């Protein structure tokens, strides 16, 4: 059987798809499993042995700019995908996504499986499933395998990321230059698009001081580089500056690219992250994560998007992370660090 998994979302979304890929491989060990991803997220599954082949398409839109060459490349790629004669195409979204469903239908697989109930495209699907409620994204994705006769796994399968050796070496060099030892620090991160989901500079300073005093651990403070008004991806430079100017000796700022940041997260004792792609990577790391959520009546809820991993915890604030009491943070850190 030849199966194509279509995943056109962000990096955290693709990481949450890896349990489904693992379960599919275990259930159908002889299947040829292909994955269609984009040039932003495909690296997440590089080296994943559950996938036989990764197809990468370029995004046609970056910010407000349309890339004509990307449109041409997508058309050519779609022609190649049709020639593969897939038995099944699975649109790997936990919610209904008309754009992703179009990709699935245009592949012309013998069967196309997707969550779809509110769009005229649904009638063209061989397997249009109703969107499940009150389920985590990883469990929703598992549900897409049921039309193939594959039941959910008996025990939880956690998201998996294979950290490349060169990013591990980069992190080791960066730490050594600052006199830090692996697991001798925690990571405090920014990176949520909504300001209310971010910890304040004062909270970061207090939490790092507590961890230093209580556990003798330093803090690597990282954030998304750039200005908050960046239309492509808002940055956190303004918030980070307030922390940097306080100059606590136990805080080590890291304003760097995404992949080196993941290398540092992988060697941390644990991490504290707002709801973001990095939070999901921290959840998959050896040290785990404390994820921060807020205002879940209008923004993503941990019921669907909470961190998944052997050492993953989260807290939810009613309106803003600033409301969270320090004692709540410290209680969760006690679990993660001990």
pLDDT digits (tens, 9 = 90+) for 307-326: 999 999 999 999 999 999 99
pLDDT digits (tens, 9 = 90+) for 140-163: 999 999 999 999 999 999 999 999
Question: How high is the pLDDT of residue 62?
Answer: 67
pLDDT digits (tens, 9 = 90+) for 10-34: 899 999 999 999 999 999 999 999 9
What single string gives the DSSP state of each residue in 297-327? TTS--HHHH---STTEEEEEESS-GGGS-HH
Q: Which two tokens stand for residue 108?
A: 């012309």
Structure letter (DSSP) for residue 251: E
Cβ neighbours of residue 127 under 8 Å, at least 6 residues apart? 111, 112, 113, 114, 147
Question: How high is the pLDDT of residue 221?
Answer: 97
Structural domains in the chain? 2-148 (3.40.50.2000), 166-337 (3.40.50.2000)
Average pLDDT over residues 130-136: 94
- pLDDT band at 193; cut points 50, 70, 90: confident
- pLDDT band at 225; cut points 50, 70, 90: confident
Is 19 buried (19+), middle (13-18) or exposed (0-12) by CB count in 10 A? buried
- pLDDT top residue among 98 and 192: 98
Average pLDDT over residues 291-308: 93
The mean of the pLDDT values for the chain is: 93
Question: How high is the pLDDT of residue 256?
Answer: 83
Q: What angle do CA 267, 272, 274 make, to 5 degrees?
A: 125
Per-residue pLDDT at 45 exceeds 70? yes
- pTM equals 0.94
Structure letter (DSSP) for residue 121: G
What single string gives the DSSP state of each residue in 263-292? HHHHTSS-EEEESSHHHHHHHHSTT-EEEE
Determine the Cα–Cα distance for residues 205 and 223; give it in Å rounded to an integer. 14
């Amino acid at each position: 059987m030849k199966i194509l998994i279509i995943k056109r979302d962000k990096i955290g979304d693709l990481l949450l798809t890896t349990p489904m890929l693992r379960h599919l491989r275990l259930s159908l060990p002889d299947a040829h499993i292909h994955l269609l991803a984009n040039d932003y997220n495909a690296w997440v599954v590089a080296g994943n042995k559950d996938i036989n082949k990764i197809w990468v398409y370029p995004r046609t839109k970056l910010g407000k700019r349309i890339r004509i060459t990307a449109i041409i490349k997508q058309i050519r790629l779609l022609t190649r995908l049709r020639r593969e004669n897939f038995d099944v195409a699975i649109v790997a979204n936990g919610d209904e996504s008309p754009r992703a469903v179009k990709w699935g239908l245009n592949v012309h697989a013998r069967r196309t499986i997707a969550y779809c109930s509110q769009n005229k495209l649904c009638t063209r699907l061989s397997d249009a499933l109703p969107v499940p409620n009150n389920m985590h994204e990883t469990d929703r994705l598992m549900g897409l395998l049921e039309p193939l006769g594959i039941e959910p796994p008996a025990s939880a399968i956690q998201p998996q990321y294979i950290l490349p050796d060169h990013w591990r070496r980069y992190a080791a060099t960066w730490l050594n230059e600052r006199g830090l030892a692996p697991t001798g620090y925690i990571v405090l991160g920014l990176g949520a698009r909504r300001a209310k989901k971010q910890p304040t500079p004062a909270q970061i300073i207090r939490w790092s001081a507590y961890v230093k005093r209580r556990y003798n651990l330093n803090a690597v403070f990282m954030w998304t580089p750039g200005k908050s008004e960046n239309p492509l991806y808002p940055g956190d430079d303004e918030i980070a500056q307030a922390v940097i100017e306080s100059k606590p000796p136990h805080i080590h700022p890291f304003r760097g690219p995404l992949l080196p940041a993941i290398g540092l997260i992988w060697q941390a004792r644990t991490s504290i992250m707002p709801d973001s792609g990095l939070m999901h990577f921290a959840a998959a790391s050896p040290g785990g994560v404390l994820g921060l959520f807020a205002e879940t009546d209008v923004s993503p809820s941990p019921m669907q998007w909470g961190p998944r991993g052997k050492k993953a915890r989260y807290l939810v604030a009613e309106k803003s992370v600033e409301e969270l009491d320090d004692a709540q943070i410290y209680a969760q850190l006690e679990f993660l660090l001990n």
